[in-house]
Amino acid sequence: MTFMVMLVVALVISDLTLRARDQAEAARTQERRSAALFSLARELAAAPDIPTLLEAALRHLLEIFGGRIVILLPDATGRLEQRAGQLAPFNMDASDHAVAQWAFEHRAAAGAGTDNLPGAQMRFEPLTSSRGIVGVVGMRPTEPRAFDAPEQERLLETFVSQVAVALDRALLAAEMQAAQVRAEAERVRNALLSAVSHDLRTPLTAITGAASAALEGETRLDAATRRELLESIRDEAERLNRLVNNLLDVTRLESGSLQLRREWIPVEELVGVALARLAKPLGDRKVTTRLPEDLPPVLVDGLLIEQVLINLLENATKHTPAGQPIDIEARRVADTIVVDVADRGPGLPTGEEQRIFDKFFGAGTGGGAGLGLTICRAIVEAHGGRIRGENRRDGGAVFRLSLPAGEPPRLPERGDE
């Protein structure tokens, strides 16, 4: 009797031990799955782009389910193409692709272990979200009956659902970014057309008017009037040429094809050439210059830095009231040569002192294409310098460009020859 009691107790204890062991194993399994799901969700949320997201999803699927796994996304025509699978590469045959396409088009699992096309070697799970289907996960597990267990089936569904939601979110973000790029491109195109058409129309109208007047009054106009008309045509043609040069400079700078032809040039020479080229637009406007005699020359592409000064002076002319001077000052500060071009206009918009150098920022507001300051910044930075705009304390704006100061080569003396 005692023996029977001990046997029953032993059996009960053994059964309880087995149950406890199974429960502990189930708890550990559940813990591993929860940790895997958490890790997957964290990596998917942190993925900066779609390729990184797909690789993270692929890696976690391989860790949990093993075998061979691919992720397929549709192209523009709706045909699936492999987008991830480098961690476990293998070639899908035509029948695999056909089953994957069926799963995508019917938004249902297909292939091995499913009710749809079960004779296939691979299993395909659709990646569906609230917006629809975004792709397909293809799997060829190591064990043929890997998904027979209900808990494995549920785990797979949970993994696939998380990947689908994250992928849909990433695709939506990419679509929004593409829409923003298209909108910005359209805005830039409209700004360019509007501003350039204005800049072209003004000098062309002046040229046409002056040429017509010269032709119609050919026999009645005196020499002075005829000369004035011809000078007007020349000045407006030069204005057109500056606009075209600005557009060409933008193209060359953005493509990286602009080559600097550096040489040592005195700052006063650069300023003098810029003022001479703008003699007509400046008219009787006073320009004050403060250029120290001991200012060293700078190693620059003369034509380009002259264009910078011309653009800054033109900008100052547009914003300085009649009768107010424009100031140009140059000085050496440590290892840089600083040149200021200041006006007495309304100043720069508060908080937008650096945005004024963005392409087309001022398009349409002052009758210009909004390219001059953009070109200035690109040219100065190509020389290793900096340019910035700020408001003056006594009103107006100042544009300050800084160029690296170097030591020009010493000319050989006669005794050294």
Q: Which domains does the chain have, with CATH numbers?
A: 24-176 (3.30.450.40), 191-255 (1.10.287.130), 262-404 (3.30.565.10)
403 closest CA partner among 264, 277, 292, 276: 264
Instruction: Convert 283-321 to b/e letters by CB count within 10 Å (16 or more is b).
Output: eebebeeebeeebebbbbbbebbbbbbbbbbbbbbebbe
CA atoms in the 13 A half-sphere facing the CB of 131? 11
pLDDT at 9 over 70: no
User: Residues 32, 38, 39, CA angle at the centre, nearest 5°?
Assistant: 90
The model's pLDDT over 372-386, given as tens digits with 9 standing for 90+, comes to: 788 888 889 889 999
- The residues pairing with 126 across neighbouring beta strands, listed in sequence order, are 136
Query: Over the Cα atoms of the chain, what is R_g?
Result: 37
CA atoms in the 13 A half-sphere facing the CB of 311? 30
| Whether the Cβ atoms of residue 301 and residue 261 lie closer than 8 Å to each other | yes
172 closest CA partner among 131, 210, 221: 131
> What values do phi and psi take at 290, rounded to 5?
-130, 95
The model's pLDDT over 16-44, given as tens digits with 9 standing for 90+, comes to: 677 767 665 555 655 666 677 778 888 88
* H-state helical runs in 136-149: none
Q: Please give the residue that has the higher pLDDT: either 2 or 25.
A: 2
pLDDT at 211 over 70: yes
Place of tokens 């899908």: 92
Average pLDDT over residues 324-351: 90
Which pLDDT band, with edges at 50, 70 and 90, does 312 fall under?
very high
> Rounded distance, CA 167 to CA 161, Å?
10
> Rounded distance, CA 380 to CA 403, Å?
7
pLDDT of residue 128: 94
* H-state helical runs in 256-301: 267-277, 279-282
Average pLDDT over residues 361-368: 51
The model's pLDDT over 138-197, given as tens digits with 9 standing for 90+, comes to: 998 887 677 777 888 888 899 999 999 999 999 999 889 888 888 876 776 666 666 566
> Rounded distance, CA 362 to CA 49, Å?
34
pLDDT at 298 over 90: yes
Q: What is the pTM of this model?
A: 0.52
pLDDT at 85 over 80: no
The model's pLDDT over 93-105, given as tens digits with 9 standing for 90+, comes to: 899 999 999 999 9
pLDDT of residue 367: 47
Average pLDDT over residues 69-81: 91
> Rounded distance, CA 146 to CA 67, Å?
10
Average pLDDT over residues 327-334: 94
* H-state helical runs in 47-78: 50-65
Reported in sequence order, the residue ranges of 46-174 that DSSP labels E, i.e. its strands, are: 68-74, 80-84, 110-111, 123-129, 132-140
| Whether the Cβ atoms of residue 183 and residue 189 lie closer than 8 Å to each other | no
> Rounded distance, CA 125 to CA 164, Å?
10
> Rounded distance, CA 159 to CA 35, Å?
12
> What values do phi and psi take at 354, rounded to 5?
-100, -25
Average pLDDT over residues 219-234: 83
> Rounded distance, CA 398 to CA 340, Å?
6
- What is the three-class DSSP state of 285? coil
The tokens for 311 are 């653009």
pLDDT of residue 394: 83
361 closest CA partner among 194, 229, 191, 217: 191
As a whole number, the mean pLDDT across the chain is 82
Which pLDDT band, with edges at 50, 70 and 90, does 362 fall under?
low
Q: Would you give the distance in Å from CA 259 to the centre of its chain?
A: 24
- Cα dihedral sign for 388, 393, 397, 399? negative
